[in-house]
Amino acid sequence: MTKEVRTRYAPSPTGYMHIGNLRSAIFEYLAARINGGKFILRIEDTDQARIVEGAVEVIYRTLKTIGIRHDEGPDIGGGYGPYVQSERKDIYLPHALQLVETGHAYYCFCTRDRLDALRSEAEARGVQYKYDRHCLGMPVQDILRRIKDGEDYVIRQKAPDSGTTSFHDEVYGDITVNNENLEDQILIKSDGFPTYNFANVIDDHTMNITHILRGSEYLSSTPKFIHLYEAFGWELPVFAHLPLVIKSDGSKISKRNGDAMFDDMIREGYLPEAILNYTVLLGWSPGDEREFFTLAELEKEFTLKGISKSPSTLDYDKLKWMNGEYIRKMPPDEFAAIAEPWISKGLAGENLDIGKIAHMIQKRVVLLGEIPDSIGFLVNAGPVDPSLYENYKMKCDAGLAQEILPMALKALSGLSEWSHDSIYNSMAAAAAAAGMKNGQVMWPVRIALTALAVTPGGAVEIAEIIGKEETLSRIRSAIKQLEA
């Protein structure tokens, strides 16, 4: 019988979720779904000093926003809980003591000052720091006495110091490391909490996790994890390490450096679907030239073999392009609903037709966050710079605008019905009567209405939205400015 695939996303609630964290969650989710398995959410809060209030809620919200549903977790429970490490504290020490009994771990009473001195000495000699096993082999009676006296201690893993450790990674292939480079890592800290590395192994085994996907920065730690599995006599999971996500300058993404987090991107107006789609392509390829995928499609097509070994560069220009493509492909009604708050912000209380504005801007918007500034002219156009009328293609300048605007004003003033078709037909008729092309008339009218060289809509669309009274008022004002 085939063993059920179980993957886990195990973030620490120490901040907000950046693209690298999000990609790990997506890949782990897809690895479970493609195999008909379970995706588990576990909160790793052993580093109590770094916990950020509200960070757990951010994790829940982010996964929900991009459409990822976990099968087990702190909020919904499951058969392997608790799913918060601080609530599982009682299981770690017994496992560590089991390793002490079997000779795979030992008590260490070294003070911070001594350890700092060892590090300084190693740095002065130009060699890599490695704990000197000062406390290994301490008599049991001494250990018991020091514990009874209340001395602080940690429990360290006794790593092999000779030979090699080999393992297979689904992304990087077969890897072999020299055991002499392994350090005796701390398993239980002096505060009684397990370290991240130790709790990870215990939780993954006791939650029956079969596939572990994590960043390539943990690749060097994998031999230490393997030795823990072997010390307990446990079956190894499948390992797949994901390539780094870096910025264009080669540096890692970091909140402290001002890099955008998922919530920041949503506030800037990126669509969750676009973020998901783009994030999946950071280090994964379907094997062909396709770039656009829904989550449902990815659940059927994702493979570990498609993950690259090379770091992926976060390209905001590519992300913005993809976001714009998603916006343009949306049904108009759906876009209008999503754009409504951004449009309302740009209108600053002005009562204009949001549906018509949405229709006007949809093909031109790249980020929803650009909408308020891009439609500000609908509320207040301001004075017109005469140089804006100059357009070589339209053969227009301020002088010609002085002829066209009064003509357009007259044509529009006579309209009893104010609609897109009536506005267009009246200006087209005026252009024909003057022996001009439609665009030659539309250009100066749009400039007069907006005082901008580039706008998300043409003269007809804008006139329809701002209404007859405001349209005529702006044209009259533009004519006066040209006469001045």
SS3 content of the chain, % helix, strand, coil (to 5): 50, 10, 35
- Residue 304's identity, in one-letter code, is L
Sorted by sequence, the CB contacts under 8 Å of residue 333 that are 6+ apart come out as none
C-alpha 127/C-alpha 304 separation (Å) is 37
C-alpha 75/C-alpha 41 separation (Å) is 9
Q: Are 106 and 138 in contact (CB under 8 A)?
A: yes
CA distances to 10, 49, 55, 107, 300 from 52, in Å: 16, 9, 6, 31, 36
> Which residues of 263-370 form beta strands (DSSP E)?
312-313
Intra-chain end-to-end CA distance of the chain, in Å: 88
- Residue 221's identity, in one-letter code, is S
Phi, psi dihedrals of residue 104, rounded to the nearest 5°: -100, 0
Neighbours of 210 (CB within 10 A): 21
What is the separation of C-alpha 126 from the centre of its chain, rounded to a whole number of angstroms?
39
C-alpha 298/C-alpha 68 separation (Å) is 12
Pick the catalytic residue from 189, 247, 255, 437. 255
C-alpha 136/C-alpha 380 separation (Å) is 77
Tell me which residue of 213, 48, 228, 79 sits closest to 155, measured CA to CA.
228
C-alpha 352/C-alpha 119 separation (Å) is 68
User: Residue 255 catalytic?
Assistant: yes
Q: Are 7 and 211 in contact (CB under 8 A)?
A: yes
C-alpha 414/C-alpha 423 separation (Å) is 10
Query: Longest C-alpha distance within the chain, in Å?
Result: 109
Three-class HEC string of 353-385: CHHHHHHHHCCCCCCHHHHHHHCHHHCCCCCCC
Bridge partners of 214, per DSSP, are: 241
Pairing of strands 186-188, 154-157: antiparallel
Tell me which residue of 457, 411, 447 sits closest to 432, measured CA to CA.
411
C-alpha 349/C-alpha 367 separation (Å) is 22
C-alpha 151/C-alpha 174 separation (Å) is 43
CA angle 311, 264, 327 (to 5 degrees): 85
Q: Which amino acids are annotated catalytic?
A: 255
